Amino acid sequence: VVFQAPRGTQDVLPEEAAYWVFVEQTARDWAARYGYGEIRTPTFEETGLFLRGVGGSTDIVEKEMYTFRDKGGGELTLRPEGTASIVRAYIEHGMASRPQPVRLFSFVTCFRYDRPQRGRYREFHQWDCEAIGELDPLIDAELIMLLWRVYQALGLRGLTLQLNSIGDEQCRPAYLERLRAYYQPLLPTVCGDCQRRYQTNPLRLLDCKNPPCQAAIAGAPRLLDHLCAACAEHFAALRAYLADADIPVELNPRLVRGLDYYTKTVFEVWPAEAGAQSALGGGGRYDGLVAELGGRPTPAIGFATGIERVILNLKAQGIAPPALPAPRVYIAYLGEAARRAAVHLADQLRQRGVPTLVAVGGRSMRAQLRQANALGVAWTVVVGEDELARGVVQLKPMAGGEALELAPEAAVERLAAGG
């Protein structure tokens, strides 16, 4: 048999790794500037956490979870997203007694049984940020600015911030009545999913992508026009901060998160051409979730951005990440005594921070030099038998030019100083 990576998963090879490191380090750097601390949570959780925390009427819970029973009979699920676990950890570790809000970030591997396509995988990675314990719209602004500044620092261009408010328990129920009343006569014209959403999760009617439903959506009442005073004020403050931050905001009344514990602010970042199906990231306020998961009522907001999606956009825009350290020195030799000296020399170079490879497998000198070339090192150190007898090694600059003859200690000094 020849094995292949499972459908919807990907290998990241060393030549790709520079993109991952670039994105992760930029995210870490900016997270620190905004005072976010790292949290790492388990890859699987009790299934019940996601049933409650993601919500029973979502696509994730209805169709996409990797759920299994372990040998002890536990009902477990590979995490489909990061927020539920982080909120669980906030409650479990009594983080409500720390200075609020608690600002957390995490790099999470996520699993969703979805139809794989460009930018959509069954195993994927998110950078997740959550600010738990504060209602002030300043926190919404900070969190969105953090995400935006990371995209900017990566060099991405042409993005827009899609922004909406979905109200709260004060204003949303009356709006949902209005929305249902509007949709009722239109039900025969909309898709089966929407007919179901009408019953279970009417807010989600607004983000249906099916063509036959678009006319109904276009005429639907907008929650933005029916916010209560508190939600309207929160939204206005947020928009003012974002305007000061020079972030191009597009109000998008169709942007929703269809669960009761999502409140007020919702947002996504879209690339220039593609729109919702290819959002780079998104998030929102979830002032009801901590209580839903058994904590005291606690306001919170978060986002997630897909690392694979960010990398696709970097490539599409021709942005190259900084190169990762690669071997700079290759040590070639002939004979057993020289081989032993080569191993020792390599060890000294590595201890001085110089990435170094030693020839292996008893190849001819020609073959060794060919390999040094193929590896793209800057220097080849040749340890020959007669040089060894004279107490010197040869330094060959691979870009061309004169070889140098130096004592091994002097060679180490020179290469450690940059060659």
Interacting residue ranges for ligand AMP, rule: CB under 6 A: 81, 112, 114, 119-121, 124, 126, 279-282, 304-306, 308-309
Nearer to ligand AMP, 120 or 180 (CB): 120
Tell the smallest beta-carbon distance from residue 129 to ligand AMP (Å).
12
Nearer to ligand AMP, 310 or 393 (CB): 310
Of all residues in the shown chain, the one whose CB is closest to ligand AMP is 306
Checking 11-19 for CB contacts under 8 A at 24+ apart, the result is 14/324, 16/311, 17/324, 18/321, 18/322, 18/323, 18/324, 19/311, 19/314, 19/315, 19/321
Tell the smallest beta-carbon distance from residue 132 to ligand AMP (Å).
17
Tell the smallest beta-carbon distance from residue 303 to ligand AMP (Å).
8
Tell the smallest beta-carbon distance from residue 159 to ligand AMP (Å).
12
Residue 9 DSSP SS3: coil
| C-alpha angle 299-305-308 in degrees, rounded to nearest 5 | 160
Nearer to ligand AMP, 270 or 379 (CB): 270
Nearer to ligand AMP, 60 or 375 (CB): 60
Nearer to ligand AMP, 114 or 136 (CB): 114
Q: How far apart are CA 14 and CA 21, in angstroms?
A: 11
Q: How far apart are CA 134 and CA 282, in angstroms?
A: 19
Tell the smallest beta-carbon distance from residue 66 to ligand AMP (Å).
12
Q: How far apart are CA 183 and CA 176, in angstroms?
A: 10
Name which of 174, 216, 164, 171 is nearest 195 in CA terms.
Answer: 216
Tell the smallest beta-carbon distance from residue 5 to ligand AMP (Å).
15
Tell the smallest beta-carbon distance from residue 110 to ligand AMP (Å).
7
Nearer to ligand AMP, 81 or 287 (CB): 81
Element (H, E) at 382: strand 379-383
Tell the smallest beta-carbon distance from residue 296 to ligand AMP (Å).
25
Nearer to ligand AMP, 112 or 234 (CB): 112
Nearer to ligand AMP, 289 or 349 (CB): 289
Task: Decide: 73 and 105 in contact? Cβ < 8 Å.
Answer: no
Tell the smallest beta-carbon distance from residue 280 to ligand AMP (Å).
5
Task: Decide: 267 and 164 in contact? Cβ < 8 Å.
Answer: yes
Name which of 13, 15, 7, 21 is nearest 307 in CA terms.
Answer: 21
Q: How far apart are CA 32 and CA 101, in angstroms?
A: 15
Nearer to ligand AMP, 282 or 295 (CB): 282
Strands 379-383 and 329-333: parallel
Distances (CA, A) of 356 to 36, 221, 325: 37, 66, 11
- To which residue do tokens 């986002």 refer? 303
φ, ψ for residue 195, nearest 5 deg: -65, -35
| C-alpha angle 51-56-61 in degrees, rounded to nearest 5 | 70
- Strand ranges of the sheet holding 123-132, from the earlier edge strand across to the other edge: 37-38, 102-111, 123-132, 300-306, 281-285, 263-270, 160-165, 249-251
Number of residues that this document lists for the chain: 419
Tell the smallest beta-carbon distance from residue 121 to ligand AMP (Å).
4
Measured on CA atoms in the order 169, 170, 176, 179, is the torsion positive or negative?
negative
